[in-house]
Amino acid sequence: MVNQQIAQIFYRIADLLEIKGENPFRIRAYRNAARTIESLGRNLQEMVEQGEDLTKLPGIGKDLAGKITEIIETGTLAKLQELEAQVPPGLVELLKVEGLGPKRIKILHDKLGITTLEELKNAAAHGEIHRLPGFGKKLEELIMKGVVLAKKEGRRFRWALAESYVLELLNHLGKAPGLKKAEVAGSFRRKKDTVGDLDILVTASQPHRVIEHFVRFPGVKNIISKGQTRSTLILTSDLQVDLRAVEAESYGSALHYFTGSKAHNIAIRSIAQKAGLKINEYGVFKGDKRIAGREEKDIFSAVGLPFIEPELRENRGEIEAAATAKLPQLITQKDIRGDLHMHTKWSDGKYSIEDMARAALRLGYSYIAITDHSKRMAITKGLDDEKLRQQAEEIERVREEVKGITILKGIEVDILEDGSLDLSDEALSSLDIVIAAVHSKFKLSRTQQTRRIIKALENPYVNILAHPTGRLIGEREGYQVDMEQVMNKALEKGCFLELNAQPARLDLNDVHLKLAKDMGLRVAVSTDSHNTDSLLFMRYGINQARRGWIEPKDVINTQPLDVLLRLLRR
């Protein structure tokens, strides 16, 4: 039993409970537990077998610990079967459609008998939906778009989730007889924010024995193919995994080929052709003679180029940059000196200011910013001017307690619909750092949304625009906004944009990051942590930054404190 199977059961229960309209806290508890399990890094089955106390895990109480044990012992959960008997199976899928919550899904089901995405699409196309009570034309259009997105996005996995499968798969493959090397290529190796499928490459003394072992991975739903040197599996989550065994002398070229991207490969191949060479997954050939193939770097040198990092291989200028010795020196996690976006118990975080500071100190950071929500975000217990003042006193106390790290006073202040901010200028002026964020009115027109954000940047106390597009990968598209205009304004006003490192956000995206870099606009890579563990999300941000060609100098939180403070003074 792998952790993801257990997490999936919990996610499924949460969805089913949601459709039934049950207690939101219960639903959230299941989702939180599922997230904990996904990112655990240790096998739950082993923990149970060794008699460890699961209730020590964040978000896992007695009840959920019991359910985990039940899943491990029986392979399933009575509660899940009970719920599945009560809810038609297709309905859960409808939750992925933007604009549809459990209540509306119930109406669609009761009035139109809709149980699948396909039926929903047809009903919307035939104009049957806008006539339902509480629906209307606008929502019908939104649903039409949402169905397409739900079908498309449903097939891709967030990188961080893909990684948890990769760890389990590589661990499993490591036990295969005669395995020499195993590595994941494809979009996963390029650190793309989402991954369509996993492409594993192996070398082995007897490849067929590795494949025999591969298909016995515990989380397999379907074995699509199983040959002598390649195999494809579908996991219970519907994630597809391709495995190919290659000869050691072809390993480098196969790794290059299957890392992609396709556009990059095609561009490299055409350079080779001009030099009279042929490149494929078996090697680089001059006539019939293989001149390279064992090492990936030799593929590049065969065409006269230095090694190009996988994150850059999108044919977005990396080949030209390589040819003219202008490749960026990509940022790494070691370059980061602090984290500028995090929440504490003062709003919707789980830990105290001191806990967060100590956790950051353990990561070797020299500064952090405490940035709780402002009052507009009522469900997060957002701060008003007075609470912010009280929090400042606590920060001063903690500064005395925790030495070796600088704690900046900050806020994640809401940008209201008209572009004004949720706290007074007086309150904002007392802070070291102000992050502004859109959390409401996502549906404004592009012009209005752009004007709103630009107005916020014109406030002289704002330093950073948080998660600039508001997207949630696989759940919600960002709002409509003219990012180039926003970036120009930020540059003009001495503000910065955030690269939010939450695996579901990764906002800005890679293309926007490169745009910012080319404009000379710096970014902050921040985790938006709500607990001490997620300070580690920094590495997802770094992955994304590298895809955006970002170097240490392009990031404000790679700078020493004195430089950072200067940058924050507008």
* Shortest distance (Å) from residue 296 CB to ligand DGT: 14
Which backbone phi and psi does 530 adopt, to 5 degrees? Answer: -110, 0
From ligand DGT, Ca ion, none, interface partner of 412 (C-beta below 5 to 8 A by class): none
Chain Cα centroid distance, residue 145: 23
Distance CA 286, CA 113 (A): 63
- 193 vs 432, beta carbon nearer ligand DGT: 193
How many residues belong to the site for ligand DGT (CB under 6 A)? 14
Q: Cα–Cα distance between 349 and 343 in angstroms, integer?
A: 5
User: Binding to ligand DGT by residue 163, rule CB under 6 A?
Assistant: no
310 binds ligand DGT (CB under 6 A): no
- What does 234-263 look like in DSSP terms, one character per residue? EETTS-EEEEEE--GGGHHHHHHHHH--HH
| Short-list 411, 391, 337, CA closest to 368 | 337
HSE of 82, CA atoms in CB hemisphere, 13 A = 5
Residues 442, 129: Cα–Cα separation, whole Å: 22
- The least distance separating Ca ion from the CB of residue 387, rounded to whole angstroms, comes to 47
Least distance (Å) between residue 260 CB and Ca ion: 8
Query: Where are the extended beta strands (E) located within 297-445?
Result: 338-339, 367-370, 406-414, 433-437
Q: Are 519 and 487 in contact (CB under 8 A)?
A: yes
Q: Which of residues 38-97 bind ligand DGT (CB under 6 A)?
A: none
Which one among 32, 232, 261, 430 touches ligand DGT, defined by CB under 6 A?
Answer: 261
| Six-digit token string for 230 | 């390649």
Q: Does 258 bind ligand DGT (CB under 6 A)?
A: yes
Q: Choose from ligand DGT, Ca ion, none: what does 30 bind? Cβ within 5-8 Å by kind.
A: none
Binding mask 205-244 for ligand DGT (x = CB under 6 A): ----------------------------------------
37 or 184: whose CB is closer to ligand DGT? 184
Q: By the criterion CB under 5 A, which residues form the site for Ca ion?
A: 186-187, 197, 199, 242
Q: What is the pairing mode between strands 523-526 and 289-292?
A: unpaired
Q: Pick from ligand DGT, Ca ion, none: which does 529 bind, CB < 5 to 8 A by kind?
A: none
- Report what 262 binds from ligand DGT, Ca ion, none; CB cut-off 5-8 Å by kind: ligand DGT
Long-range contacts for 206-212 (Cβ within 8 Å, ≥24 apart)? 206/177, 206/178, 207/245, 209/176, 209/177, 209/178, 210/173, 210/176, 210/177, 210/178, 210/179, 210/243, 210/245, 211/243, 211/245
Instruction: List the x/- string, 262-281, binding to ligand DGT by CB under 6 A.
Output: x--xx---------------
Residue 260 interacting partner from ligand DGT, Ca ion, none (CB closer than 5 to 8 Å by kind): ligand DGT
Burial 275-285 (b: 16+ CB within 10 A, else e): eebbbebbbbb
Distance between CA 178 and CA 394 in Å, rounded? 59
Tell me whether residue 257 or residue 351 sits nearer to Ca ion (CB atom).
Answer: 257
Question: Quick one: which of 59, 90, 196, 552 contacts ligand DGT (CB under 6 A)?
Answer: 196
Select from ligand DGT, Ca ion, none the partner in contact with residue 3, using the beta carbon and a kind-dependent cut-off of 5 to 8 Å: none
**Contact present, 264 and 279 (Cβ < 8 Å):** no
**Looking at the DSSP assignment, which residues form a beta bridge with residue 99?**
none
Please identify which residue in 146, 260, 349, 470 interacts with ligand DGT, judged by CB under 6 A: 260
User: CB nearest Ca ion: which residue?
Assistant: 186
- Pick 109 or 313: Cβ nearer ligand DGT: 313
| Closer Cβ to ligand DGT, 11 or 258, answer by number | 258
Short-list 102, 144, 155, 146, CA closest to 122: 144
406 contributes a contact to ligand DGT by CB under 6 A: no
Question: Smallest distance, Å, CB 440 to Ca ion?
Answer: 36
Under the binding rule (CB under 6 A), the answer on residue 186 touching ligand DGT is yes
Residue 261 contact, options Ca ion, ligand DGT, none, Cβ 5-8 Å cut-off depending on partner type: ligand DGT
Contacts of 526 by beta carbon, 8 Å cutoff, 6+ apart:
339, 340, 341, 342, 464, 466, 498, 499, 500, 501, 541, 557
Q: Which is nearer to Ca ion, 186 or 548 (CB)?
A: 186
The backbone torsions φ and ψ at residue 65, rounded to the nearest 5 degrees and listed phi first, read -60, -40
Contact positions vs ligand DGT (CB under 6 A): 186-187, 192, 195-197, 199, 257-258, 260-262, 265-266
